[in-house]
Amino acid sequence: MRRTFRFVLALAVLLSFVALSHVVNDRNEKSAFAQAEPTGKLAEVLARGYLNCGISAEVPGFSYLNPNDNTYSGLDVDFCRALTAAIFGEVTDTNLVFVSLSSSERFPALQANQVDVLMRNTTWTFSRDTDLKGSFGPTTFYDGQGLMVPASLGVASIDDLNGASICVQTGTTTELNITEAFNSRGFDFELIPFDDAPSSIIALEAGQCDVLTTDKSGLAGLRSGVADPSLYVILPDTLSKEPLSPMYNEGDDQWANVVDWTVYATFQAEEYGITSANIDEMLASEDSAIQRFLGVGDPFNSLIGLSNDFTVNIIRTVGNYGEIYDRNIVPIGIPREGSLNALWTSGGLIYSPAWR
Amino acid sequence: MTAQSTYSSSDDFFVNTADLSARRPPPRSKNPVVLFLKRPIVLISLYLAYIALIFVKWDTLKDWLVADILNRPASEIGNGLEAMWLALWVALPYFIFSIFNAAKIQLRLRIPFFRNIDFLRDIAQVVFLFVVVAGLYTLALNVMDNTQIPINWNVVSRHFPVEVSEGPDFTKEISWLKDIPIIGNRLAKADVLQPGTTTRALITGLINTLRAVILALVFSTILGVLIGIGLLSNNWLVRNVSAVYVEIFRNTPLLLQLFFIYRGVLGILPTAPKDAYKFGNFYLSGRGLNFPKVLTTDSYPYFLMGIIAGLIVGIALWRWRLRVQDETGKPANTLIWFSTAFFGLGAIGLVLAFVTGGTPFELENPTLDRFNFVGGSRWSAGYLTLVVGLTLFTAAFVADIVRAGIQSVSHGQIEAARAHGLTSNQTLRLVVLPQAMRLIVPPLTNQYLNLSKASSLAISIGFYDLFNVATIVQNQTGQAVALFVILMLTYLVISLLISLLMNIINRSLQLKTR
């Protein structure tokens, strides 16, 4: 009796080992690339069912709430859409919430987890990366600080501006740069700080300041919004580097990957010539690099913790970087040709790491 | 007499032991140490010191005050539990103290602790203390754990990288700082007070806030009183214009009014300095008011001495005339006597100054530069808007408070005053206002507090007040918690100072009954 029991026990143990190894084998066979489990912020967003995306909603070309039909548009808005499509597969009425933030509200909002990501023409700086405990994704727009003056003043460059009153948006890098630029020239100047872009352009129009300073793209956007743009000129001087990048809290590598590679996907798609129009043809492409990028075949893309076709979803929703640029930035009068924002193959800085 | 009879005199179930103790005083200790420790101030100080110790050293104390007792590693103790234990340790001495007191009363006066109202009150205090400390500390721990807001108080000694174009220049050394007796040298060497630091920028912001608030307080009071009296005027036009003013300014948001003044009123003024409206050497434009700056010269002290002497002599004469009026009933005419002395001696000082060293004042006129005026003094558009906006808004409330105060004085008083032959001016000044003031001052304090806090709306009109500067710091450094705590404390101190001042005034106006 006892012997029989031992035998049965040994058999059971043996059988269970076989079964276990079978299960393990089975799993390995199912996926050559194990999909990463969503953790941290990504899991939180998936569970919540929508993405909180911090934008400004006040800068034409970047993020702008159209007062006529209550729709958001702009480069930053499109990257919010791209990220939503990457996470949820598509953008619906309910899975993307735009949180409109002033320049002074944005960092506390991010730190307090009120937004998951800032797509709010935020300059990537050393102190924000370290002191603010933020992290930056790939630069989506290379900008520089500029100066806009009424054409009637007859000012040719910053060196003519000694004694001027300058409207500036508070809480931005621009108020630091303008202080430095004028102090280094030994100029007298008066800063008039405003919390948002519309207030500052209204003050310039009312003549309460002589100069409006912000990123050149922002100036172009604001200039396109005034009644008669020809009354204002943007001076040729560029005061600073303003690489505008997505920002998120540091310490969550998976979330960082999701945001970063969403942006890179738009770069890479342009490099491969994939657009929202030809995506269906491209899915049938024989090119193995394009197949890998679009998640055809091996579930290679799911390594990031998203579905294997997240790149397809991004391109279907917003198109590649070139499309996003043409749709949003060209209308406010900033050509892409020859600028830093051209694709690296055309001499610009838009460059995705290798997709392999 | 049985023990029962000591407290059966009261019908209430609860007994106030202070009454009984007064009838049967406890035996007094002769020991000087015990006497010293029993003084309330000593007890409270000891307790506060204990609480401070708990809070400051909590990081090390919690290992054996919480973790050891619960026999769990400190890392496994949740925020709520940790906060409750902290609150427990904070409240414990009070709890023991109240039990000790209740036990003494029970032994000496035979009052059971559940009927001892002092003990029950103490326990309520202990529970309140526990809940408040535990709640606040849980919140604080959650802020530190669940958000990624870094907290660094040293941010105030950093270099402040932005220009503040209003108020005293924070990048210049404060020359008079080292002349302060005793602590001056140390202050001058303090890191946070060096030129260009964030603290100095915040101080500049604070001065800007105070400049606007004080001026608005004075103007809104004057305007409010005038309109308040206007509300009760017999003149139809004055009465209705005042009423319309009050309703409009009281029933629209202050922010809207500020925008209206900044963009609507100042916005339609010519903005280019060369087109500014010119009144003598005063220039008003959409960018603000430029006016001559008064500079003092070497002979200025003579004039100053004349003014001070005039003030002293004037006040002495004022009091002397009041005494004469009290004793003889002759009219005091205080104002005439005072102004004769003040202006007379001031004029003598002025003449003396001219004789010894020429004019005591010089004016520095603003002159037109390419973009703006240079030289002279300047009230920026933001400052003008803030002062005017706060004044107009608060004056509407003040007016209604004044009207209510005046109407609260019984009409019989006015009739009696008129029957005594007082003129309507005298009736208002001597009978109505002194009684009305008692009702006016407390609600007025609230309006003044509102005004001082509403000054933070300046950020919307580009004025560098305290809130605006702090916002800049917070943005450039990310230290939202640190800056907001500093801001809250500063506004709290401003509010408390205004309250204190108004309470002193209120007390001096109360009926002195004997």
For chain A, give the mean pLDDT.
88
Contact B371 A210 (CB under 8 A): yes
Out of A113-122, B71-80, B497-506, pick the least confident: B71-80
CB < 8 Å to B164, chain A: 191
Residue B274, both tokens: 């060369």
Q: Is the dihedral of CA B489, B490, B495, B501 positive or negative?
A: positive
Query: What are the beta bridge partners of residue B289?
Result: B284, B379
CB < 8 Å to A250, chain B: 148
Please name the residue of chain A whose CA is at the shortest distance from the CA of residue B149: A111
Residue B411 has pLDDT above 70, yes or no: yes
Closest CA to A106 of A60, A65, A149, A57: A57
For residues B63 and B53, give the distance between their C-alpha atoms in angstroms, rounded to a whole number: 15
Q: Which of B150, B163, B459 is the closest to A133 by Cβ? A: B150
Amino acid at the residue A138 = P
Sorted by where each begins, the domain ranges of chain A are 1-30, 40-142+244-346, 145-240
Residue B101 has pLDDT above 80, yes or no: yes
A40-142+244-346: CATH topology is D-Maltodextrin-Binding Protein; domain 2 (3.40.190)
Q: Which of A108, A113, A161 is the closest to B480 by Cβ? A: A108
Q: Could you tell me the strand order of the sheet in which A145-150 lies?
A: A190-194, A165-169, A211-215, A145-150, A232-234
Amino acid at the residue A284 = A
CA distance A325 to chain B (A): 29
* C-alpha triplet A154, A208, B167: angle, nearest 5°: 120
* Crossing angle (nearest 10°) for helices B466-477 and B198-231: 150
- What homologous superfamily does CATH list for B177-292+365-509? MetI-like (1.10.3720.10)
Confidence of residue B276 (pLDDT cuts 50, 70, 90): confident
> What does the pLDDT look like over B184-214, one tens digit per residue?
788 888 878 888 889 999 999 999 999 999 9
For residues A138 and A134, give the distance between their C-alpha atoms in angstroms, rounded to a whole number: 13
Task: Give me the torsion for CA of B3, B7, B8, B14, rounded to 10°.
Answer: -130
List Cα–Cα distances, B249 to B218, B224, B256, B257, B259, in angstroms.
18, 12, 10, 8, 14
CB A123 within 8 A of CB A224: no
Contact A111 B478 (CB under 8 A): yes
What contacts A194, CB < 8 A, 6 or more positions away? A167, A168, A169, A170, A200, A203, B462
Residue A301 burial (C-beta neighbours within 10 Å; 0-12, 13-18, 19+): buried
Q: Is B138 on the interface with A (CB under 8 A)?
A: no
Q: How many CB pairs under 8 A join A and B?
A: 120
Contact A108 B464 (CB under 8 A): no
* C-alpha triplet B129, B133, B137: angle, nearest 5°: 175
Amino acid at the residue A131 = D
ipTM above 0.90, yes or no: no
Segment of A18-32, A73-87, B24-38 carrying the highest mean pLDDT: A73-87
For residues A23 and A17, give the distance between their C-alpha atoms in angstroms, rounded to a whole number: 10
For residues B98 and B91, give the distance between their C-alpha atoms in angstroms, rounded to a whole number: 11
For residues B466 and B469, give the distance between their C-alpha atoms in angstroms, rounded to a whole number: 5
List Cα–Cα distances, B351 to A57, B85, B303, B356, B402, in angstroms.
65, 74, 8, 9, 43
Residue A299, both tokens: 């579930």
A145-240: CATH topology is D-Maltodextrin-Binding Protein; domain 2 (3.40.190)
Contact B472 A113 (CB under 8 A): no
Mutate to test the interface with A, among B475, B484, B485 (most CBs of A within 10 A): B475
Contact A111 B149 (CB under 8 A): yes
Contact A206 B286 (CB under 8 A): yes
In this prediction, residue B92 carries a pLDDT of 92
> What does the pLDDT look like over A36-91, one tens digit per residue?
788 889 999 999 999 999 999 888 899 999 888 889 999 999 999 999 999 999 99
Q: Is B162 on the interface with A (CB under 8 A)?
A: yes
Pairing of strands B282-285, B288-291: antiparallel
The more confident residue out of B319 and B274 is B319
Amino acid at the residue B453 = K
Share of chain B above pLDDT 70, in %: 97
Contact A163 B370 (CB under 8 A): yes
List Cα–Cα distances, B22 to B17, B18, B105, B114, in angstroms.
9, 6, 13, 21
Q: Which of B149, B287, B472 is the closest to A170 by Cβ? A: B472
Average pLDDT over residues B414-436: 88
Mutate to test the interface with B, among A126, A130, A132, A160 (most CBs of B within 10 A): A132
CB < 8 Å to A178, chain B: 163
In this prediction, residue B474 carries a pLDDT of 85
The alpha carbon of B436 is separated from its chain's Cα centroid by a whole number of angstroms, namely: 24
Length of chain B: 514
DSSP conformational letter for B465: -
DSSP conformational letter for A277: T
Residue B495 burial (C-beta neighbours within 10 Å; 0-12, 13-18, 19+): middle
Closest CA to A315 of A343, A285, A336, A294: A294
Q: Which of A191, A208, A210 is the closest to B381 by Cβ? A: A208
> What does the pLDDT look like over A140-196, one tens digit per residue?
999 999 999 999 888 989 999 988 999 998 878 888 999 999 999 999 898 988 878
Q: Which of B162, B371, B475 is the closest to A165 by Cβ? A: B371
CB A217 within 8 A of CB A243: no
Coil, helix or strand at residue A211? strand
* C-alpha triplet B84, B85, B86: angle, nearest 5°: 90
CA distance A111 to chain B (A): 5
Residue B113 has pLDDT above 80, yes or no: yes
